[in-house]
Chains A and B, each alone.
Chain A
Amino acid sequence: TQLLEQSPQFLSIQEGENLTVYCNSSSVFSSLQWYRQEPGEGPVLLVTVVTGGEVKKLKRLTFQFGDARKDSSLHITAAQPGDTGLYLCAGARVSSGSARQLTFGSGTQLTVLP
C-alpha cells in the first residue's frame, strides 16, 4: 500500500491545456516536496511546502498543500512540451520521527504533445 497516492498515474495532453496532479495520504506530513524526473536522470526538486494551506507558484506551476497537511496538488497552466516528465510528490511524515526520511508517491507521468 502506497502511503502517498498520486493521480492520475498517466496523463497525455495537448500543448496549451491546463492540468492538475494530486497527491493524497491518510498520514500527516511536516513538509511536502514535488520533484520532476526526466528519462535517464535523477529527480530534481521543484518546490517544498510546509504550512497547511500554503500555495507556491513557480512560473506556470502552482503547488498547494492541504489544510490538514495530508494532501497536495500541482496545477500546470498552459502546458508546454518541456513540461513532459515524471512528477513525484514526497513527504516527511510526522510519525516517522525524522524529517530526513521522505515517503515518495508512485509518480504521474505527464506527456505534453505539441
Chain B
Amino acid sequence: NAGVTQTPKFQVLKTGQSMTLQCAQDMNHNSMYWYRQDPGMGLRLIYYSASEGTTDKGEVPNGYNVSRLNKREFSLRLESAAPSQTSVYFCASSERTGSIYEQYFGPGTRLTVT
C-alpha cells in the first residue's frame, strides 16, 4: 500500500518549457489536490478534484492545468513554466469521515525554473 506517489521527485526546467507532474493514490479516495509550498507561505491550493470527472480552482490556479485521469490519478501541467513557479509541489488525497476531510500527502516534486 504505497499511499500517494508522485513523479518526478526533482525537475529543472527552462522558462517557457512545459511539463506534467504525475500523482497517483491507491487508497480509493474520491478527492485529490495539488498544492505548492514556498518558504514562509505554508501550502497553497492550486486545484482540486472532488471526484472523478470534476476539477475546481483553488487559491493559486494561474499558469496551471489539471486532469483527473481516473479515480487514482490526478496530473498537474505547466504549459509555459516561469521562474515564479519554482516551488515544491505536493499532491494529496482525502476521503470524507463525517464532516471532515483528512488529507494524505505524497512526498513532493521539487521544481526549479531557470
Instruction: Indicate if A7 sits at the interface (CB-CB under 8 A).
Output: no
Q: Report how many residues on chain A are interfacial, defined by Cβ distance under 8 Å.
A: 27
Residue among A31, A101, A105 making CB contact with B42, cutoff 8 Å: A105
Contacts of A104 in B (CB 8 A): 35, 42-44
Instruction: Indicate if B53 sits at the interface (CB-CB under 8 A).
Output: no
Contacts of A98 in B (CB 8 A): 50
Complex Cα distance, B90 from A55, in Å, reads: 29
Contact B48–A88 (Cβ < 8 Å): no
Known: A31-B100, A99-B99. A42 touches B105 (CB 8 A): yes
Contact A33–B99 (Cβ < 8 Å): no
Residue among B35, B40, B99, B105 making CB contact with A44, cutoff 8 Å: B105
With both chains docked as a complex, state the minimum distance between the C-beta of A97 and any C-beta of chain B, in angstroms: 11
- Interface digits, A61-98 against B, CB 8 Å rule (1 contact, 0 not)? 00000000000000000000000000010101000001
- Interface digits, B59-80 against A, CB 8 Å rule (1 contact, 0 not)? 0000000000000000000000
Known: A42-B90, A99-B100, A101-B58. A106 touches B108 (CB 8 A): no
Contacts of A102 in B (CB 8 A): 45, 101, 103
Contact B42–A88 (Cβ < 8 Å): yes
Residue among A6, A40, A43, A50 making CB contact with B43, cutoff 8 Å: A43
- Interface digits, A1-43 against B, CB 8 Å rule (1 contact, 0 not)? 0101010010000000000000000000011010000001111
Contacts of B105 in A (CB 8 A): 42-44
Could you name 12 residue pairs across A and B whose Cβ atoms are closer than 8 Å?
A6-B42, A33-B103, A40-B108, A41-B107, A42-B106, A42-B108, A48-B102, A88-B42, A98-B50, A99-B101, A102-B45, A106-B42
Q: Which residues of A contact B (CB under 8 A)?
A: 2, 4, 6, 9, 30-31, 33, 40-45, 48, 50, 88, 90, 92, 98-102, 104-107
